[in-house]
Amino acid sequence: MSRIGGHLPVGITPYYAALIDPTNPLDPTRKQMVPVTDEFVTSPGEADDPLSEDAHMPVPGLVHRYPDRVLFLVTNFCATYCRYCTRARMVGQTGEYHFNQSQHQAAIDYIAANPQIRDVLLSGGDPLSMNDDRLEWLLSRLRAIPHLEFVRIGTKIPAVLPQRVTPALVKMLRKFHPLWMSIHFMHPVEVTPEVAQSCGRLADAGIPLGSQTVLNAGVNDNVETMRELMHGLLKMRVRPYYMYQCDPISGSKHFRTPVEKGLEIIEGLRGHTTGYAVPTFVIDAPGGGGKIPLVPDYYVGRDGDDVVLRNYEGKQYRYRDPVAKS
Ligand SMILES: *Cc1c(COP(=O)(O)O)cnc(C)c1O
């Protein structure tokens, strides 16, 4: 791992680096992992913390944006550093975030003291970069909080360091059910036998798996690539969860796609393939408004007692829906 001018570190696992085609300068994995000078150009609307996470932390590392659930940042270390990272301001850095035991304890104390919190999402950094003992300590402390119904882990490690998903890890994790996992996937090239094995171990341990994918220009911003990825995920028992508009972090312009591109991709999936293969397209609102879903419009309008709809092929259908007379 090396640093460029105090910026987001460069780091990639040998396994993931091996997916890059060395002869292709436009290789999608290369674009996500290898920095280019565009990264140092800040464009209008960009910010280091566009989602205002730091302003929503009652204790360091704990983002409490929605009343009933919290985002618990447990480490700033990742197995690979994505150049479009939402948390580029903190990952791989030393600084105000220490992520040590006393910080973990302060977050756990806050969750224990706030009974409206029923859902904790562990993220970072990558929680699976911590060793099994540390992770087990955290999960057991959280599980001991009676009002916590549900814990989930957000991670990229099953996709970029599948060797980390050992039988010992899943044996430990399965003690803490209900435990869910969201795995960061970007491109169909990531669907390999090794990753199928890591996801298979987690699924066999009864951990429901969801995916999170960020729209990236030149990486996955077309219907065919996204469809192939979603089909690959279903085969590995990963249910597509979110497809994100790329957050406007500083230096991300070369990654961002027009919002309409995301709508076009959803429209190209919905009805054309398995419903389970269609993620929810969201924009995480700058300023901290949370995730806002965007859906292509299938409602054409009302015609008297009929609602006019269009289907995935663009054909119009009527649904009789008399407006109640009062
Ligand atoms: C994404 C996120 C969550 C979880 O959102 P879900 O829609 O429930 O998956 C919770 N807190 C914060 C701050 C988030 O960014």
Model confidence pLDDT, tens digit, residues 279-292: 999 999 999 999 99
pLDDT at 94: 64
Residue given tokens 């618990």 in the structure block: 72
Active site residue 246: no
> What radius of gyration, in Å, describes the C-alpha atoms of the chain?
21
Residue 235 has pLDDT above 60, yes or no: yes
| Overall pTM surpassing 0.85 (yes/no) | yes
pLDDT at 93: 73
**Which residue, judged by its Cα, is nearest atom 3 of ligand 1?**
71
Rounded CA-CA distance 164/262 in Å is 32
Question: Which residue, among 60, 134, 63, has the nearest Cα to 103 in the 3D structure?
Answer: 60
Tell me, using a 6 A CB cutoff, whether residue 282 lines ligand 1: no
Tell me, using a 6 A CB cutoff, whether residue 283 lines ligand 1: no
Rounded CA-CA distance 189/310 in Å is 34
Least confident interval from 83-87, 97-101, 218-222, 316-320: 97-101
The packing angle between helices 132-143 and 101-113, to 10°, is 20
Q: Per-residue confidence at 92, pLDDT binned at 50, 70, 90?
A: confident
CA of 271 to the centre of ligand 1 (A): 27
Tell me, using a 6 A CB cutoff, whether residue 63 lines ligand 1: yes
Active site residue 66: yes
pLDDT (mean) for 181-195: 98
pLDDT (mean) for 97-104: 83
pLDDT at 1: 39
Return mean pLDDT, the chain: 95
The pair of three-digit structure tokens given for residue 183, joined into one six-digit string: 């795995």
CB count within 10 Å of CB 89 equals 20
Query: Distance of CA 248 to CAs 32, 143, 253, 254, 276, Å?
Result: 15, 35, 7, 10, 28
The pairing of beta strand 290-293 with beta strand 119-123: unpaired
Rounded CA-CA distance 207/250 in Å is 35
Q: Per-residue confidence at 2, pLDDT binned at 50, 70, 90?
A: very low
3-state secondary structure of 311: coil
Helices (H), the chain: 14-17, 28-33, 101-113, 132-143, 157-160, 167-173, 193-204, 223-235, 259-269
CA of 71 to the centre of ligand 1 (A): 7
Q: Per-residue confidence at 100, pLDDT binned at 50, 70, 90?
A: confident
Active site residue 65: yes
Question: Which residue, among 18, 159, 170, 179, has the nearest Cα to 78 in the 3D structure?
Answer: 159
Rounded CA-CA distance 172/207 in Å is 12
DSSP 268-279: HHBTTB-GGG-P
Question: Is the distance from CB of 69 to CB of 117 less than 8 angstroms?
Answer: yes
CA of 76 to the centre of ligand 1 (A): 18
Active site residue 82: yes
Rounded CA-CA distance 322/203 in Å is 46
pLDDT at 103: 93
Question: Is the distance from CB of 46 to CB of 251 less than 8 angstroms?
Answer: yes
- Give the model confidence (pLDDT) of 245-269 as tens digits: 999 999 999 999 999 999 999 999 9
Q: Per-residue confidence at 4, pLDDT binned at 50, 70, 90?
A: very low
- Give the model confidence (pLDDT) of 121-158 as tens digits: 999 999 999 999 999 999 999 999 999 999 999 999 99
The amino acid at 86: T
pLDDT at 173: 98
Region(s) of the chain under CATH 3.20.20.70: 14-295
Top-tier CATH class for 14-295: alpha beta
pLDDT at 97: 61
pLDDT (mean) for 221-241: 98
Q: Per-residue confidence at 5, pLDDT binned at 50, 70, 90?
A: very low
